[in-house]
A and B are shown apart, each in its own frame.
Chain A
Amino acid sequence: MSIDAGTIAPAAPVGPEAAQPETVQAKRSHGTLPISLATIAAIVAGWSLASAYGIVSPLFLPSPLTVLKAIYNVAINGFVDSTLAQHTLASLLRIFAALAASVAIGIPAGLAIGTSRIGKGILDPVVEFLRPLPPLAYLPLIIIWIGIGEASKITVIALAMLPPIILSTAAGVKSAPADFTNAARSFGAGRLQILLHVILPGAIPSILTGTRIALGAGWSTLVAAELVAASQGLGFMIQSAAQFLVTDIVIAGIIVIAAIAFLLEILARLLERWFVPWAAHR
């Protein structure tokens, strides 16, 4: 997954009309909700019929009920030595460890790109090199370098999350009106004060958007990384199940992964609404 810088830049809405498209969109998404629900129902129904009438072998496509039972079973009894909760927890811990690392590195790096010519000169080529690379391309190298343990998985995920966080931070810095920094300077603010009290808060909406994109990128990298080398985690669970042709658990794993990605997205949006209510009013 590659993230285009252009998709990040307009993240922070500008102008008084910024609030309007949101309400229009909200209305429209409300309007499509019944249709979307009907689509999902149709897919599940088709799936049920296909497996009930043996159109597709249950080995390839177990029925929805079987998958539901599989989810229940993995939740209670576990699969390959861990319960569903443990697999999920292992995956989430990796994601959040990687998120912490990439935020800790990415925000200062983005501030450096956005505020200083030297910082931009140094960091731009690094980011532009990293950004289009599929994380799985460098995973083997990372494993050679730092082994097959947790550290390599977290590193790969963090590297996948880094570019969107760096680029969105830099974009947020540049979106700050010159008047904001000028005002602070005319009240006697120093460089560090401007960075902490004006540039950083002004960039937070954009940083949060970048974090949301990063979570998406990180989540897809995580599952892939676990497919390659892990003893716990949702990706590992799917990989093991596939080796034994336990298709219901494969599908159960996919559904859990999708559900968690969906929940993370909603969480990120809620955080945006709580922490930067003003972003919609710029």
Chain B
Amino acid sequence: MSVLSLQSVSLAFPVDRDSRRTRLVLDGITLHLASDEFIAVIGRSGSGKTSLLNLAAGFLKPTSGRISVDGEDIGGPGADRAVVFQDDALYPWLNARDNVAFPLKLRGVAKQERRRRAGELLAKVGLESAGDKNIWELSGGMRQRVGIARALASEPRFLLLDEPLGALDALTRARLQQFLLNVWSESRTGALLITHSIEEAMLLATRVVVLAPNPGRIVADIPAGFGRQLLAGKPLQEIKDSPEYRRLHDGLTGLIHTDSEEAA
């Protein structure tokens, strides 16, 4: 089992181009993601969620603190941490299958084998017949599934997801939440999900982390078991009606609400 660790990580951005003044965006973040965990990070807009994910991915370097996988500092982005982007970031010059096969191509996997594996992954996300489709012919939900299949193709130890379902309608979103949960439980990769939705965080994650803004810091790190209940076949409505669910939902809502009052 692997662990992705952020230890006392802070991040400051320059206030503007010319001045040397900086603004602290993340302050003293310590977070450990084991490869059998599903962590959801919630917080107001601007609380630094994307910055946190970009740090974990290696796109940004922390101003202070350490980021490591199994004790080894990450030098930058790496194939052990695959990212699913908010606006899919699929390559429009490749069809769906070649997008999924892209990480394999980078690794020098032979064409036949690439096609076979990409086909399998597309089937896994329920898009077996869409391989030859152009990206612009796919709906938003299909694109996100291709994006997830592409991330899985690189066989990462950690999946980093930045609001992948944010732009979808409620119905598609609910379907893809269930789908993400299945993918996570089958693939045994650690997942870090950024989301705006308290409900989404609670239904998917094994731990819900709340980020408060200015500067972004962790104000709560709460275990949740609703995803496992869902996987075990417990009906969604029954889960949502349970007192534990209500209690956690109210608690998290309160936490995020206090933030916004503070900031206002």
Chain A residues positioned under 8 Å from B175 (CB to CB): none
Measured CA separation A183–B127 after assembly (Å): 21
- B82, A187: Cβ atoms under 8 Å? yes
Q: Are B134 and A278 in contact (CB under 8 A)?
A: yes
Q: Which residue of A lies closest to B136 (CB)?
A: A281
One of B58, B59, B89, B106 near A197 (C-beta < 8 A)? B106
Are A185 and B93 in touch, CB under 8 angstroms?
Answer: no
**Chain B residues with CB below 8 A from A189, complex form:** 106
A202 CA to B92 CA, complexed, in Å: 9
Most buried by B among A180, A186, A188, A189: A186
Knowing A182-B77, A278-B135, say if A188 contacts B103 (CB, 8 Å): yes
A197 to B91, CA, bound (A): 10
A residues 59-88 near B (Cβ < 8 Å) are none
Could you tell me which residues of chain A, from 232 to 282, have a CB within 8 Å of some CB in chain B?
276-278, 281-282
Interface membership of A36, Cβ < 8 A: no
A58 and B151 CA atoms in complex are apart in Å by 73
Check B154–A201 contact: CB distance below 8 A: no
Q: A188-B78, A278-B135 are in contact. Are A204 and B93 (CB under 8 A)?
A: yes
CB <8 Å contact, A179 and B93: no
- Separation in Å of the B6 CB from the closest CB of chain A? 17
Do residues A186 and B135 form an inter-chain contact, with CB atoms below 8 A? Answer: no
**What does DSSP make chain A's interface, helix, strand, loop or mixed?**
helix
| Number of residues on chain A facing chain B (CB within 8 A) | 22
What residues on B are CB-neighbors of A198 within 8 Å? 91
Chain B contacts with A in 86-113, Cβ cutoff 8 A: 87, 89, 91-93, 102-103, 105-107
**A-B pairs with beta carbons under 8 A, tally:** 72
Q: Which of A182, A187, A281 contacts B92 (CB 8 A)?
A: A281
Which of A180, A187, A282 has the most B CB atoms < 10 Å from its CB?
Answer: A187
Q: How large is the interface on B (under 10, 10 to 19, 20 to 34, 35 or more residues)?
A: 20 to 34
A277: B residues at CB distance < 8 A: 134
Chain B residues in 8 Å Cβ range of A202: 91, 93
A177 within 8 A of B: yes
A183, A197, A281: the one contacting B83 at CB < 8 Å is A183
Q: Is B85 an interface residue (CB 8 A)?
A: yes
> Closest Cβ of chain B: how far from A17's Cβ, in Å?
13
A193 at the interface (CB under 8 A from B): yes
B102→A187 contact, CB < 8 A: yes
A97 within 8 A of partner (CB): no
Q: Is the Cβ of A187 less than 8 Å from the Cβ of B103?
A: yes
B57 contacts chain A at the CB level, 8 A cutoff? yes
Q: Is A184 an interface residue (CB 8 A)?
A: yes
Cα–Cα distance between A64 and B150 once the two chains are bound (Å): 63
Instruction: State whether A182 and B93 are in contact (beta carbons under 8 Å apart), knowing that A188-B154, A193-B106, A197-B106 are contacts in the complex.
Output: no
Contact at B81–A201, with CB atoms within 8 Å? no
- B83 surroundings in chain A (CB, below 8 A): 182-183, 186
Given contacts A186-B83, A278-B135, contact A180 B77 (CB under 8 A): no
Q: Is B103's CB under 8 angstroms from A185's CB?
A: no
Separation of A193 and B104 alpha carbons in the complex (Å): 12
Closest beta carbon of chain A to B174's beta carbon, Å:
24
**In the bound complex, do residue A182 and residue B134 qualify as a contact, i.e. CB atoms below 8 Å apart?**
no
Q: Please give, as numbers and ranges, the residues of chain B lying within 8 Å of A188 by CB-CB distance.
A: 77-79, 103, 106-107, 154
Q: Are B82 and A186 in contact (CB under 8 A)?
A: yes
Minimal Cβ-Cβ distance residue in A for B89 = A179
Q: How far in angstroms is the closest Cβ of chain A from B33?
A: 15
- 7 closest A-B pairs (Cβ-Cβ)? A188-B79, A281-B136, A179-B89, A187-B103, A185-B77, A278-B92, A186-B83
In the complex, given contacts A183-B89, A185-B77, A187-B102, what are 13 additional A-B residue pairs having Cβ atoms less than 8 angstroms apart? A179-B85, A179-B89, A182-B59, A183-B150, A186-B57, A186-B79, A187-B103, A187-B151, A188-B103, A197-B106, A201-B93, A278-B93, A282-B92
